[in-house]
Structure 1
Amino acid sequence: MRGKLRLLIVLLFVFLKVKAQHDYSNYRVGLNYGFGSEFNNTDYTFTNHFYKAQLYYKIKESKNFQYEILIQPEVNFGKHQLLNLYFVKPETPDFEQKRIEYMKLKDVHEYVLNIGFVVRKPFGKIYSCYLLGSVGPMITDKETERMSKGFAFADVLAVGFTVDYQKLRFDVRPSLRHVSNAGLGSSNAGYNKRNIEFGISYQL
């Protein structure tokens, strides 16, 4: 048993040594954490925090730019409350009861799969900034006055700044996020939010 364990350790060491001698791949994996809130308005509040897995693939590199595809599964934990009861119109069925229900503070969970495109501008050997646009399907678990429960879409526009240390990359990313269901549900006013997220990723 000990001999097999030693052999396994030696093989693992050889594999890692050989891998380290090759160029880095075009793949990078990571994790981001972020938080944010709605733009100031008198109709509603929405605060949130979220976790994103990150899978990058560099598809092209030119003299000045790098181009990447980014896949981002996300779990978003939000708190929403209607402030303006007149947002629910009298022509809405059971509008008085819905006004009472919607004005309660609610926990809203969103499960998202965003697919994005990144244009990155390196500065020197370790710094870069980038522009990210992404869109993807999501499921929300609560009905509110602004959006029906169930299927919707999340659109994100972000800028970011990164610093590399060996195979690690540290990331700061302010973003704007719009969520709506494209008219597939009875309510589709959606949410507009500003977020900031922090991440770390590893080049495979």
Structure 2
Amino acid sequence: MTRKLLLVLLFLMAVKMTAQKGDSNFSLGFNYGFGSEFSNRNYTFTNHFYKVQFYYKIKEAKHFQYQILVQPEINFAEHQLLNFYFVKPETPNYQQKRDQYTRLKDVREYVLNCGFLIRKPIGQVCSFYVLGSIGPMITDTETERISKGFAFADVLAVGFTASCNKCQFDIRPSIRHVSNAGLGSSNAGYNTKNIEFGISYQL
């Protein structure tokens, strides 16, 4: 009997939450993106990535909305050193490292970015926004530009969304910088341009 009452209460709560359209400040989303380094002669870097997006609206003013978001991400990249002179002769075992770093490598990055977003609604359906985020990252491969292990990922993005009921469809060009703030022996980092596409749902 107690179990049945509990199930009924849970069902009524779910119905009530479903009926309260637009009341929640939380949204959950998923993004897919890809990109590459800015053109240079020293290295190649291409990537694609998947993000889970947790949004929370902290304030809604007359013309703008303000949100914070948390973005767990996994990034799959390919990297290759092109200019082996980037590894200088004073580097220990420099010839061995030149041979190692000039091979094409698969790189995995595991990131937890936290961001702040300012959104400008355009009518009832569309909006533009600016997003800045930063967070810790673990990379599984040592390269000439960044040491294996702990680093940071910084992202600056603009975006456009279109809404349909509780769903939002998102397109987001961005610039991304990765480095380890001098915590590792190599810290030249990567600078990439990316674009991502996503969908989110208001909870």
The alignment's TM-score, normalised by the length of structure 2, stands at 0.94
Does residue 177 (structure 1) correspond to residue 171 (structure 2)? The answer is no
Alignment partners' CA distance in 2, 1:167 and 1:10: 26
Report the equivalent of 2:81. 82
Alignment partners' CA distance in 1, 2:176 and 2:18: 39
Report the equivalent of 1:134. 133
SS state of the match for residue 188, structure 2? coil
Matches within 5 A, 1:41-60: 41-60=40-59
Report the equivalent of 1:3. none
Matches within 5 A, 1:58-69: 58-69=57-68
User: Which of residues 8, 17, 22 in structure 1 aligns to 2:15?
Assistant: 17
* Percent of aligned positions that are identical: 70
SS state of the match for residue 97, structure 2? helix
- Partner amino acid, structure 1, of 2:39: N
Matches within 5 A, 1:150-161: 150-161=149-160
Mark the runs of 5 or more structure 1 residues left unpaired by the alignment: 1-5
- Partner amino acid, structure 2, of 1:105: L
- Partner amino acid, structure 1, of 2:77: G
Offset at residue 182 of structure 1 (A): 0.4
Offset at residue 90 of structure 1 (A): 0.4
Does residue 120 (structure 1) correspond to residue 123 (structure 2)? The answer is no
Report the equivalent of 2:200. 201
SS state of the match for residue 104, structure 1? coil
Alignment partners' CA distance in 2, 1:43 and 1:140: 20
SS state of the match for residue 23, structure 2? coil
- Partner amino acid, structure 1, of 2:16: V
Offset at residue 202 of structure 1 (A): 0.5
Offset at residue 75 of structure 1 (A): 0.3
- Partner amino acid, structure 2, of 1:161: F
Does residue 145 (structure 1) correspond to residue 134 (structure 2)? The answer is no
- Partner amino acid, structure 2, of 1:19: M
The alignment's TM-score, normalised by the length of structure 1, stands at 0.94
Offset at residue 8 of structure 1 (A): 8.7
Alignment partners' CA distance in 1, 2:10 and 2:126: 32
Residues 148 and 186 in structure 1, CA contact (< 8 A), matched pair in contact too: yes
- Partner amino acid, structure 2, of 1:167: K
Alignment partners' CA distance in 1, 2:54 and 2:104: 34
- Partner amino acid, structure 2, of 1:164: S
Runs of 4+, deviation exceeding 4 Å: 6-13
Mark the runs of 5 or more structure 2 residues left unpaired by the alignment: none
- Partner amino acid, structure 1, of 2:123: G
Report the equivalent of 1:40. 39
Aligned residues: 202
